[in-house]
Amino acid sequence: MSSHELKNDRILRAFQRQEVDRTPLWMMRQAGRYLPEYREVRSQAGSFMGLCRSPELAARVTLQPLERYDLDAAILFSDILTVPDAMGLGLSFVTGEGPVFERRIQSNADIDALPQPSAQKELRYVMDAVQACRQELAGRVPLIGFTGSPWTLATYMVEGGSSKTFAASKTLVYDQPQAAHRLLTKLADAVADYLTGQVEAGAQALMIFDTWGGALDPERYRDFSLAYMSRIIESLPREAEGRRVPVTVFTKGGGQWLEEIAECGADAVGLDWTTSMADARQRIGHKVALQGNIDPCMLHANPEFIRQEVARCLAEFGHGPGHIFNLGHGIQPETPPENVAAMVDAVHEFSPQYHGNQAASPKA
């Protein structure tokens, strides 16, 4: 089998709203701290970024969830903050605090001084990890590459790390909109180069995580988040290895803007658990595929309840292609791995009835 051949292309077909035999699934943060085998490799790497910067170790943890569960995609093990890190802001991860930047963006001069990192130079380690993942996968399932959205990256750069209020970021938008646009333009150009590099290295689908877009009001969301994601998508290679490279946009807390998100050029729109899958399909499901949207906390419940929630989510989407089953945000570190297995098994059991001419399966 050549490296271009896929044994399982179910998810790539679903992204194009083509017929499949069952609903494909993967999980945001599926390679991560809920798995003991991940924690073991993480301790070998010495630090989180040390793990990201080692193509061999990044590929190893990318494949770990596929050894446990019958998933339809691998997602590159990396972090959304690799681009601002490559801009020289001094990223580190502090236990209990999350990401922290040594230098934050506080002035026009800081924005002007930001270099434009290259996918092939400063971010070469990510491209090497993509290549290592493709080699290890050997056509088993497609590999998803990803990035943070320009607005989401900007919040970390301006706040200096995580934030509950985004006061500094929003003040920049309100008081100095032109400076904010300059920062976001720089980030959009860097992100477009970064994602293009991932496709050239072998990523077969792409995802833009707009984690903090939902913190904005509608007007600023359009101007300072969605517009820049559209700009990125317009510049991306949309075909590689003879296949379309689908792009998913996920704005956490963005359910009120689904119609506008569906027009941004993406093939799929990610949903968090606050948006009804049935409502989303009615509103935009004829234009794009839908990804989501189980509450990650549901995976702490008992396996029978998990099965019921899977059945409900599948029934909400209903019959036909264009649903990629996923969580509505990243899997939580305390999640019992056996509960993930219950969810995966339930998707496999209940979803065939919604596709093709399959006979109805027993209800949960």
Each residue of 49-96: pLDDT tens digit?
Answer: 999 999 999 999 999 999 999 999 999 999 999 999 999 999 999 877
- What's the pTM? 0.96
Q: Which segments are annotated as binding site?
A: 29-33, 79, 156, 211, 329
Q: Which segments are annotated as binding site for substrate?
A: 29-33, 79, 156, 211, 329
Question: How many Cα atoms are found within 13 Å in the side-chain-facing hemisphere of 256?
Answer: 10
Domains and CATH numbers, the chain: 10-354 (3.20.20.210)
pLDDT score at 96: 78
Q: How far is CA 275 from the centre of its chain?
A: 17
Asked whether the beta carbons of 115 and 88 are under 8 A apart, the reply is yes
What mean pLDDT value characterizes the chain? 96
Q: What distances in angstroms separate CA 67 from CA 28, 52, 72, 140, 358, one per listed residue?
A: 16, 20, 12, 11, 28
202-225 mean pLDDT: 98
Task: Report helix, strand or coil for 292.
Answer: strand
Catalytically active residues, by annotation: 29, 33, 42, 79, 156
Query: E strands of the chain, at which residues?
Result: 74-75, 91-94, 98-101, 143-148, 205-210, 239-240, 243-244, 247-251, 268-270, 289-294, 323-327
Of 93-97, 165-169, 240-244, 311-315, the range with the lowest mean pLDDT is: 93-97
Residue 147 φ/ψ, nearest 5 degrees:
-155, 165
Q: Which two tokens stand for residue 67?
A: 């050894």
